[in-house]
Structure 1
Amino acid sequence: MRQRLMGEKESHVFKQNLKITRFGKSGRIEEAIKVFSQMPLKNVVSYNSMISAYCKNGRTRDARRLFDEMSHRNLISWNSMIAGYLHSGYVEEASKLFDKMPERDLFSWSLMITCHTRNKELEKARKLFDLLPDKRDKVCWNALIAGYAKNRQFDDAKKLLGEMPVRDLVSWNSMLAGYTQNAEMHLALRFFEEMDEKNVVSWNLILDGFVRVGDLNSAWQLFEKIPDPNMVSWVTMLCGFARNGKLVKARRLFDQMPCRNVVSWNAMIAAYVQNCQIDEATKLFKEMPERDSVSWTTMVNGFVHVGKIGEAREYLDRMPYKNIAAQTAMISGYVQNRMIAEASQIFSQIDTCDTVCWNTMIKGYVQCGRMDDALCIFRKMDNKDMVSWNIMIVGYAQVGQMDEAFKIFKEMGERNIVSWNSLITGFTQNGLYLDALKSYMLMEKEGIKPDQSTFACGLSACANLAALQVGKQLHEIFFRDMDFVDIVSWNSLIAGFALNGYGQKAVKLFEEMLVNGPAPDQATFVGVLSACNHAGLIDCGLELFKSMTEVYGVEPLAEHYACVVDLLGRAGRLEEAFNLVRGMKINANSGIWGSLLGASRVHQNLELGRLAAEKLLELEPYKTSNYVLLSHMHAEAGRWEEVERVRLSMKKSRAEKHTGCSWIELRNQILAFVTDNQVQPRTTEICNTLKSLTAVMRNPVFMSLNNVFA
């Protein structure tokens, strides 16, 4: 009887442990916790299952708390906790725990070797490998080979493969995966042909490699040659078609599949979602024989992607069990639509957020300019990553609080190129050009290599400060060290030379760009035409303007026409300038007519000046300077009646001009103050008070006191 009861209890514990494992794998962590907490009898397996469930769902801290509570731990307990740390990216914590282990098996060693290789710490991985007490097992060999190969150290990987006492298919496939994952398909194919034996994994690796590089023709030819394709083969080819927008081929392949699992259904639904065909995705979703959390999350993401926020929320609410990926997708959807209250509500319902979820919510507050709320959440984060810090820097920069942005920057333990660029861009956007250059120099001292964005901001700062020498230095470093200089950087440098009056150098740089850089765009031509204009390079400017459409296929904007009109006008070629304006495909703006009016006055072409002035006054009827310029032209020609007419028109336009107005809210009333309005109550009293204050300010005594305190 006693034995039977013990057997029943053990059976019950066994079943509960299986439930915990199943719930943990499917993301139903709260249900796993409920089962574990209600168990009257727990064994080591129960604890190990719960630790694993916590780790799989990103709750590493809870897993470690449970691990520390265990009175008895076995090797699986230690390995589960180390695996959990590695899964969450806590390499240092995993390494510390590994050092404390009372005993280790080959799985423990292979875990840590894999951990270091994934973290690109190949020397540490090799040291651990060399410390192995028994090197006969192939698992650790394969882990190190894979690490070398994935980190592009192919020679070391091949050497280790050659030194292996006994190689197996995993060894060969580890080497092959390194080639395919690094897009080295030529080397991968050669190695594939040299392999003594191949299995479906080998074929799938080559297939995945072709898909990664977008070579679908080669991928399809290989797929048809696979001796016995498995589900991975079919899904890999399906995803290849889907990612490249070949939805018809993807669906045809899906319909041809001999059998389908939930992964293949999810892949096809994801294909429709990626291509914004949410109706097809919905139809397929309803046909699914079974769904998992990925299925539901894909649909929530899909509705968010096409802006159907209501439907996304409906699917989230219908999910049989929530997971953090779906909730984060919903938060992202609300954030994109600036529905910050709704996003905050979902966020508050999540028991344990991962880093992506935290960052999504912080980004939402940042986008709405609510930096106090963003900072509050940021400070509560336990596991901030680089993205978290960078979002805060960008946020403060966007609202002009560069002191706060710099404070966050200084708090960072580690910074990457995005951190530096966010700070430098912030300084540049807020007109703090000297601070931008100082930050650039500090970045250089810390050994961070600048990229295109850094140089573009640096050159922009130099241009605005007229810091020509620094700009030249940046230019030299920029073009010497960069593998590829983007269009923004070229344009910034050309504009910098143009702004500072170095027209010839701007043109020379433009010519260098045509040889070594990307194709010019509209901003490039604005810069170089402006340079020609200010330097008086008429023929060069006209040639460049002509080449815009004829050679480079760039349609001119009003800014380009204004540069050329000004260029011709300065040279006295008014007729050409006017013909250019008349032949424009776009409507002339005030800049174009203003350039023509200015040139007409300089070269005393009253007829053309009057026409340009009339067009200009249609566009800017209240701009006094236009009337003044036309009046001066008539005065210089001795046409005093016309001068008087223009002046009367100017007075009339002033009278018709919208009156200036300011207002203040006082005791729930809006009080408006309008210029030249004598009807406003207490207007006389206000004017008298203003005059008194002005008189006091002009008093010598007051002025001397002001100088003292200054």
Structure 2
Amino acid sequence: MKRNLKLIGEQTNHVFNQNTKITQLGKSGNVEEAIKLFSEMTHKNTVTYNSMISVFSKNGKINDARQLFDNMPRRNLVSWNTMIAGYVHHDRVDEAYRLFVKMPIRDRFSLTLIITCFTRIGDLEKARELFDLFPHERDVACWNVMIGGYGKKGRVIEAKRLFDEMPDRNVASWNLMLSCYTRNGEMRLGKEFFKVMAIKDVVSWNLMVDGFIEVGDLVSAWEFFEKIPYPNVVSWVTMLSGLARRGKILEARRLFDQMPIKNVVSWNAMIGAYVKDYQIEEAARLFREMPNRDSVSWTTIIDGYVHVGQLDKARELLDQMPYKNIAAQTAMLAGYIKNKRMDEACQVFSEITARDIVCWNTMIAGYAQMGRMDKALNLFKEMENKDLVTWNTMIIGYALTGEMDKAFKIFDEMKIRNVVSWNSLMTGFVQNGLSLDALNSFKLMANEGTVPDHSTFACGLSACANLAALQVGKQMHNMVLKSGYINDLFVGNALITMYAKCGRILYAQIIFKHLDKVDVISWNSLITGYALNGHGKEAVQLFEQMVLKGVLPDHITFIGVLSGCSHIGLVDQGFKLFKCMTEIYSIEPLVEHYACIVDMLGRAGMLYEAFEVVRGLKMRANAGIWGALLAACKTHGNLKLGKIAAKKLLECEPHKTSNFVLLSNMQAEAGSWDEVENMRLLVKVTKAEKQPGCSWIEVRNQIHCFLSNMPMLPETAEVYSKLKALTSQIRSLDCESDLAFLLDNL
């Protein structure tokens, strides 16, 4: 009998030791070793199964945990709670709740677990329903979870009401209620609550310090910090981090040097502060002095070197890192991509064994930004778990390369879309000259129920501006007013441009004046608007106001103001501004600036001066420059220079027949009919290769597009029928010869 008892005791101790070892292996992440030990055990008890379920769930193998749970020979209350805890840890609410409902018996811990599950995902109504349903199973921990849930969602009043109903409170209860105030910026109420707290500890003081830091009140934060009876390392780090985040680097360093005990978090906070302030050498000095480093330490300093562009040093540290961290590797990856060193980025990417979604998205975005969409697509196909960022990145990438058919295909394949998806598609359409498609997307987005944001409106208004679709733009303006985005700078700038391009410069001016704040884009939009509508003097005056306000002009500003000078013949003013651009603001002239100068001289009849400007260019003249000179030659009847300009223009745009027509008209006016006939023959040859002409008209808030190669529609036939009838009536009048002349010219 004694011998049997001894054997049972030894067996029990052996099983206990093995169970403990399984738990330890799980905590260290050695899941395979834990599985091997579990499989080799000849005697398993319920604790053994519970330990193994915990190992699976804590190491991301929740399905394996459930399979083991279902195959258990016997289950106790701990088994059920352990399985539910696994689901809670992975936010798998439905499975956790179904298991909770099936439980043969529950305890207070079971209730706390399931309520925790619902509060973590923000479903406070379901959490409160369960809380109220089991009043006898509620303990202090359960009340605390419910209060914490209300606090995280900012429902401070409900949290306080529940706190006041609590039969018993511990220090965690008081601190949770205090955190409801401090984490939601209610520092006046937090301060009052702090004064009446029945129980306080160092956590209470730390919450007050952190709360004041979050609202930017460093003075009050410092006052509380100095009054903490027994500050712990968290107190010091909280104050240190607050000073660092607010740019108080010297004060943060002084506090760091005073710390009685420095843990790795305090060192990391100080290094992070120097990195954020671009003091990389000081950050590196501290990094070298650290007694112990963790993955955050290495990641922070590597990221710091990446941000200041010292990529080789960052890579050197990454290679020295004792244990590779995906955050550090991704930071290195992003650094190479930012500096367009894609081969090295690809090498880092290949070295990452356990790639997370951020790592994949960073690499795909890198290829997309470089226009290497074939590489981006290969990674996209290889990637198993794609998120919205992945899909949106592909849309943006194809839009950048002008492949809108592929961008739309990606968009169409998306099972879930967000506002960024729609914005990416619309922006792509606008950037690639497909403004009608952008407006159609805006309409489809509304039909799908996606709420537009400021970027959506800015993009939609840009499309209206490109099409001069005033009525649609006005409708969108009304939507902006209702949505509350009227003071958004991007939307405001888009409204200015839309009204200006639609010829409503007064409306554009009103929008500009009523913006809460303006930037250089706002000024540029209005200056360009004045220029487009022939108000050159107002464009120059607005430029002068801009300079007086201390806003630095950029190259677009000068394109706008030079264009204004061109339209009304302010030659001297234009040259003065051009000189100002190069000598005062050190802006290197672009080909667009020279096009404005050529146009300005050409309009003023100074054709040879304009030609000399073109000849003296250090850069290759584009179609805009030669087109401006050709138009001026047409206006002033200079066939000699016109031929030269036309020849150069045809080299730039060989398939644009309007250039042939312009030169042909000049030759006709000069009586060179043989050359006119030759030009017409050339036009016929070229027409087969040219892009179809496009025009549109806005009728009853709808934009209708017409292409020159569009098949005849019933409505089109009706229009032509009416046109023939009108022509017949006109011919019967005494103006037939004038009509023939007009039609020939058309």
What TM bracket, shorter-length normalisation? 0.7 to 0.9
Q: Is 1:500 equivalent to 2:502 in the alignment?
A: yes
CA contact (8 A) 1:343 1:361 kept: no
CA contact (8 A) 2:505 2:529 kept: yes
Question: Could you tell me which amino acid in structure 2 is paired with residue 248 of structure 1?
Answer: L
Partner SS, residue 471 of structure 1: helix
Structure-to-structure mapping, 1:522-561, within 5 angstroms: 523-551=521-549, 553-561=550-558
Q: Which residue of structure 2 lines up, in the alignment, with residue 415 of structure 1?
A: 417
Partners of 2:143 and 2:630 in 1: how far apart?
86
Partner SS, residue 616 of structure 2: helix
Partner SS, residue 198 of structure 2: coil
Partners of 1:373 and 1:70 in 2: how far apart?
48
Partners of 2:359 and 2:74 in 1: how far apart?
35
CA contact (8 A) 1:572 1:603 kept: yes
Find the partner of 2:435 among 433, 439, 446: 433
Q: Which residue of structure 2 lines up, in the alignment, with residue 118 of structure 1?
A: 120
Question: Could you tell me which amino acid in structure 2 is paired with residue 530 of structure 1?
Answer: T
Question: Could you tell me which amino acid in structure 2 is paired with residue 531 of structure 1?
Answer: G
Find the partner of 2:482 among 470, 480, 483: 480
Partners of 2:487 and 2:474 in 1: how far apart?
16
Q: Which residue of structure 2 lines up, in the alignment, with residue 665 of structure 1?
A: none
Q: Which residue of structure 2 lines up, in the alignment, with residue 518 of structure 1?
A: 517
* 1:196-215 deviation per Cα after TM superposition (whole angstroms, max 9, x unaligned): 33222111111111222333
Find the partner of 2:154 among 152, 155, 159: 152
CA contact (8 A) 2:547 2:553 kept: yes
Gaps of 5+ in 2: 1-5, 655-681, 690-708, 713-746
Q: Is 1:104 equivalent to 2:102 in the alignment?
A: no
* 1:431-488 deviation per Cα after TM superposition (whole angstroms, max 9, x unaligned): 3323322222233234332211111111111112222211111111113322564322
Find the partner of 1:137 among 118, 139, 158: 139
Structure-to-structure mapping, 1:98-247, within 5 angstroms: 98-134=100-136, 136-247=138-249
Gaps of 5+ in 1: 24-28, 637-642, 661-690, 699-706
Identity %: 47
Partners of 1:203 and 1:357 in 2: how far apart?
39
Find the partner of 1:448 among 447, 450, 455: 450
Partner SS, residue 136 of structure 2: coil
Question: Could you tell me which amino acid in structure 1 is paired with residue 546 of structure 2?
Answer: M
Report the TM-score, using the length of structure 2 for normalisation.
Answer: 0.74
Q: Offset at 1:533?
A: 2.4
Q: Offset at 1:300?
A: 4.6
* 1:640-696 deviation per Cα after TM superposition (whole angstroms, max 9, x unaligned): xxx97x689989x97xx99x9xxxxxxxxxxxxxxxxxxxxxxxxxxxxxx9xx89x
CA contact (8 A) 2:396 2:425 kept: yes
CA contact (8 A) 2:396 2:428 kept: yes
Partners of 2:305 and 2:177 in 1: how far apart?
40
Greater shift after overlay, 245-254 or 448-457? Answer: 245-254
Question: Could you tell me which amino acid in structure 2 is paired with residue 546 of structure 1?
Answer: E
CA contact (8 A) 2:26 2:59 kept: no
Partners of 2:599 and 2:321 in 1: how far apart?
69
Partners of 1:634 and 1:406 in 2: how far apart?
47
Structure-to-structure mapping, 1:218-617, within 5 angstroms: 218-307=220-309, 309=311, 312=314, 315-316=317-318, 319-322=321-324, 324-333=326-335, 335-336=337-338, 337-338=341-342, 339-347=344-352, 349-350=353-354, 353-367=355-369, 369=371, 371=373, 374=376, 378=380, 383-482=385-484, 485-513=487-515, 517-521=516-520, 523-551=521-549, 553-584=550-581, 585=584, 591=592, 594-595=595-596, 598-600=599-601, 602-604=603-605, 606=606, 610-617=608-615
Greater shift after overlay, 588-597 or 127-136? Answer: 588-597
Report the TM-score, using the length of structure 1 for normalisation.
Answer: 0.78
Greater shift after overlay, 396-405 or 117-126? Answer: 396-405
CA contact (8 A) 2:391 2:410 kept: yes
* 1:528-556 deviation per Cα after TM superposition (whole angstroms, max 9, x unaligned): 122222333355334322210112x2223
Partners of 1:527 and 1:373 in 2: how far apart?
38
Query: Cα 1:7–1:603, aligned 2, differ >3 Å: closer, same or farther?
Result: closer
* 1:572-597 deviation per Cα after TM superposition (whole angstroms, max 9, x unaligned): 55444454445553566665565455
Partners of 2:401 and 2:246 in 1: how far apart?
39
CA contact (8 A) 2:237 2:269 kept: yes
Q: Offset at 1:616?
A: 3.8
Partners of 2:112 and 2:8 in 1: how far apart?
41
* 1:291-314 deviation per Cα after TM superposition (whole angstroms, max 9, x unaligned): 444444444544544455555555
* 1:255-274 deviation per Cα after TM superposition (whole angstroms, max 9, x unaligned): 32222333333333433444
Query: Cα 1:424–1:303, aligned 2, differ >3 Å: closer, same or farther?
Result: same
Q: Offset at 1:53?
A: 4.8
Query: Cα 1:476–1:340, aligned 2, differ >3 Å: closer, same or farther?
Result: same
* 1:140-181 deviation per Cα after TM superposition (whole angstroms, max 9, x unaligned): 222112212221222222222222222333223222212222
Partners of 2:124 and 2:248 in 1: how far apart?
40
Query: Cα 1:595–1:249, aligned 2, differ >3 Å: closer, same or farther?
Result: closer
* 1:28-61 deviation per Cα after TM superposition (whole angstroms, max 9, x unaligned): x3x3433542453366555555554554454545
Q: Offset at 1:111?
A: 2.6
Partners of 1:485 and 1:463 in 2: how far apart?
19
Question: Could you tell me which amino acid in structure 1 is paired with residue 615 of structure 2?
Answer: L
Q: Which residue of structure 2 lines up, in the alignment, with residue 679 of structure 1?
A: none
Greater shift after overlay, 504-513 or 447-456? Answer: 504-513
Q: Which residue of structure 1 lines up, in the alignment, with residue 18 of structure 2?
A: 13
Partner SS, residue 134 of structure 1: helix
Q: Offset at 1:108?
A: 2.7
Question: Could you tell me which amino acid in structure 1 is paired with residue 248 of structure 2?
Answer: K
Q: Give the total of aligned pairs.
A: 641
Partners of 1:274 and 1:65 in 2: how far apart?
47
* 1:482-507 deviation per Cα after TM superposition (whole angstroms, max 9, x unaligned): 25643222222211222222222222
Partners of 1:295 and 1:266 in 2: how far apart?
6
Partners of 2:336 and 2:37 in 1: how far apart?
37
Partners of 1:533 and 1:549 in 2: how far apart?
18
Question: Could you tell me which amino acid in structure 1 is paired with residue 272 of structure 2?
Answer: A
Q: Offset at 1:630?
A: 7.5
Q: Offset at 1:290?
A: 3.7
Q: Which residue of structure 2 lines up, in the alignment, with residue 704 of structure 1?
A: none
Query: Cα 1:598–1:325, aligned 2, differ >3 Å: closer, same or farther?
Result: closer
Q: Offset at 1:424?
A: 2.5
Partner SS, residue 173 of structure 2: helix
Q: Offset at 1:569?
A: 4.9
Partners of 2:27 and 2:467 in 1: how far apart?
63
CA contact (8 A) 2:249 2:274 kept: yes
Q: Which residue of structure 2 lines up, in the alignment, with residue 687 of structure 1?
A: none
Q: Offset at 1:110?
A: 2.1
Question: Could you tell me which amino acid in structure 2 is paired with residue 37 of structure 1?
Answer: K
CA contact (8 A) 1:548 1:554 kept: yes
Q: Which residue of structure 2 lines up, in the alignment, with residue 33 of structure 1?
A: 32
CA contact (8 A) 1:593 1:612 kept: no
Question: Could you tell me which amino acid in structure 1 is paired with residue 33 of structure 2?
Answer: K
Partner SS, residue 554 of structure 1: coil
Partners of 2:319 and 2:13 in 1: how far apart?
39
CA contact (8 A) 2:486 2:492 kept: no
Question: Could you tell me which amino acid in structure 2 is paired with residue 567 of structure 1?
Answer: G
Query: Cα 1:202–1:103, aligned 2, differ >3 Å: closer, same or farther?
Result: same
